[in-house]
Chains A and B, each alone.
Chain A
Amino acid sequence: VSIYVQSAISGLLVGGIFAMMAIGLSLVWGMLKVVNIAHFALILLGGYLTYQLAATTTLDPFLTLLFSVPAFFVVGVAMQWVFERFDVRHFNSLLLSFGLFIIVIRVISNIWSADFRRLPAADNPYATQSIIVGDFAFQLPMLLAFVTAVVISAAVAVALRRTYFGKALRAIGHDPQVAAAFGIDARRMGLLLGGFASATGALAGTFVGVSSSLFPGQAVEWIGLVFTVVIVGGVGNLLGAVVAALIVGIVSGLASVAWGASAAPIVTFVILIVALLFRPYGLFSRGAAT
């Protein structure tokens, strides 16, 4: 039994990383109606940046965020500017960002090759640390990702309810024209939100770089899982996404112990299809939220 509990725990923690990835995607999809597949490529790029900076300097891997978060914020603003400028939304944004995704992934594998890369243990004090509770181990980097994801999504959820900025964003997500009529500068809000979403990608990338090996094909594997998380949680609903990520993580962790690692994706996608059929607006939504 304890192997099942342990795998549920690791699944839960892996779910934390997926929740971290889902935040940026879910936000821009829900509020700006941009389905940004390129987000996955940015996350991977963030992982490689952490790897490169921490391996070549003596910086702590998490200090590389001081560089990558602002850089990614700028990238996110630039991307959103293009989406805005050419009125690329919904399906077209999926296509366009798919093109960007291919480009970034290819550039990554041209620079860092298609081989596995992993931060050397000397530069990465976090990789091997775990917190032991009873018989069960919690790996530190994943635990951090988990906590960060919960904190960020809770903070965003509160900000969306309470602050002017958040209310304005929800208004834009609901109906941009009416929002504009009430004097909300949808364009500037969108740019800021795009930058923020992309900055969370830098964060997710660092967690990936610290907790596991990197290779370019990884990003493709994330697509299915993270979209499942976003859709099951409800597009634009961050807390929903976190809960969905934990469910997906635990279930696929258990499935891979019970039936082998290749069974895990099957279970995940069955969850997705069932969710699409019965709760197309997300587990926690009462009606047509999007």
Chain B
Amino acid sequence: VTRRALTTFLAVGVALWFLPDLRGVVDFPLFYLLFLYTTFFWIAQASSWNVLSGYTGYFSFGQAAFFGVGVYTSAILVNRHGWDFFVTIPVAGVASALLALGVGGLAFRLRQLRGEIFALLTLAVSFILASVARFSPAIDGGQGIAISPPDAPGFLGGFNDMIFRLALVIGLLAVGGAYAIQHSRFGWGLFSIRDDEGVAEGLGVPTFRFKMAAIAVTGFLAGISGSVHSLQIGYVTVEDVFSLNLALFVILMSILGGRNHWLGPVVGAVFVFTMQDRLASAGFERWSQIAIGSILVLMVLFARDGLYLRLRARIRTVAAAFVVVFVLSSLLGVGGSVFDHLLFAMFAGILVALVPAAWLRPLRRTALAPDEPAPADADVPVVEAAGSLDPSAAVGPEERS
């Protein structure tokens, strides 16, 4: 972990921390805070998923299980046992991590529980937890649990400011954790497991311990994020908490953004959530799942390595497209809010990132600039660049230190 990265994370954190206070100065709608809260929530969940599933290639469909244990731990401790909410956050994280270790202990003992079988096993775990929660009155019993907002210390502000700040801290923790892991020996070990577990084992990577550690990190982050989310939803029910949607969204976000890099899930989370929110507010709620399913299909067919590396490879063109479309859209007033313009601009950026290199060539002074990625139909080199043995190969020399 470099000092520069640390200061960047801190600066972003501090800047966003005081954002709610700005509302006294430039009166923006409360909705903006809620929007950002949910964005942070998804960033935390997607990054959490990516530590295990993106880095090691063990795809989990069980995100809802880890999230749900976090949600229910906080809800039960606060509602039934009168605990202080802030104490329950780490407890929820630890509970989720323990569940994760249990799942890992079962699954990682057997070599054949890879690929689709591991995915189905984790899916089964979240189905089981849902049935257990519905069945047992000590947990839920089908009634749902209400959780009331705690008395927050003054520096966190009112309820909306508080959950915004909590989500911000957890989101930064998740992204920072993913960053730190990617740039450590641990991260290299995880990437080597993804590439070839047998070879990794042979070269002395303690694969079992690394996988256990990765799934514990995934569980812990999903759990603390779920704990805070229980406050946001206020009334916890089995159907909402253990729905398949959560796993679907984090998988989609990470695949869309790119699973080989810590920023991939962040990019994916911002885009998918903005799109879903805009579709819902424009009254196309019925179509948002169709859009999400279609994106998943298209990504698997045409861009399995995700957007992030492509975005980075033509960062200037993408940024230009983003700014131009954003400004145009704001000037013309297409749609209603800032988020509509943001969505259009993101779409433009992504389109530019996905266009085959040949189409961009006329726009360039030289036929093939050195930062040009391979054409979109030749996926292999891009995947290779994602860093099989050296995860920081994906980061590029300027970010290393």
Indicate whether A and B interact: yes
CA distance A280 to B112 in the complex (A): 8
Chain A residues with CB below 8 A from B297, complex form? 96, 99-100, 103
A120 within 8 A of B: no
**Known pairs A91-B115, A92-B300, A266-B131; A102 contacts B293 (CB<8 A):** yes
CA distance A33 to B244 in the complex (A): 24
B110 within 8 A of A: yes
Stretch at the interface among B75-83, B116-124, B275-283: B116-124
Chain B residues with CB below 8 A from A106, complex form? 286-287, 289-290, 293
Write 16 A-B pairs (CB below 8 A) sorted by A numbering: A90-B115, A90-B116, A95-B300, A96-B297, A96-B301, A99-B294, A100-B293, A100-B297, A231-B120, A263-B135, A265-B128, A266-B132, A272-B121, A276-B121, A281-B112, A288-B112
Tell me the residues in window 2-41 of chain A with beta carbons closer than 8 Å to chain B beta carbons.
35
Chain B residues with CB below 8 A from A266, complex form? 128, 131-132, 135
CA distance A269 to B135 in the complex (A): 14
Q: How far is the CB of A140 from chain B (nearest CB, A)?
A: 30
A63 within 8 A of B: no
B374 within 8 A of A: no
Q: Is the CB of B127 within 8 A of A265?
A: yes
Q: How far is the CB of A25 from chain B (nearest CB, A)?
A: 11
Q: Is the CB of A91 within 8 A of B286?
A: no
The listed residue (A96, A102, A260) touching B248 by CB distance below 8 A is A102
Q: Is the CB of A269 within 8 A of B127?
A: yes
For B295-336 the 0/1 string (1 means CB < 8 A from A) is: 111001100100000000000000000000000000000000
**Known pairs A91-B119, A92-B304, A231-B120; A98 contacts B248 (CB<8 A):** yes
A200 within 8 A of B: no
A223 within 8 A of B: yes
Closest 7 CB pairs of A and B: A99-B296, A102-B293, A103-B293, A99-B297, A265-B131, A96-B300, A99-B293
Chain B residues with CB below 8 A from A272, complex form? 121, 124
Tell me the residues in window 188-233 of chain A with beta carbons closer than 8 Å to chain B beta carbons.
220, 223-224, 227-228, 231
- Majority secondary structure of chain A interface residues (helix, strand, loop or mixed): helix
Tell me the residues in window 190-210 of chain B with beta carbons closer than 8 Å to chain A beta carbons.
none
A53 within 8 A of B: no
A107 within 8 A of B: yes
Known: A96-B297, A277-B110. 7 other contacts (CB 8 A): A90-B116, A101-B293, A106-B287, A224-B123, A224-B124, A231-B120, A263-B131
Tell me the residues in window 105-141 of chain B with beta carbons closer than 8 Å to chain A beta carbons.
106, 110, 112-113, 115-117, 119-121, 123-125, 127-128, 130-132, 134-135
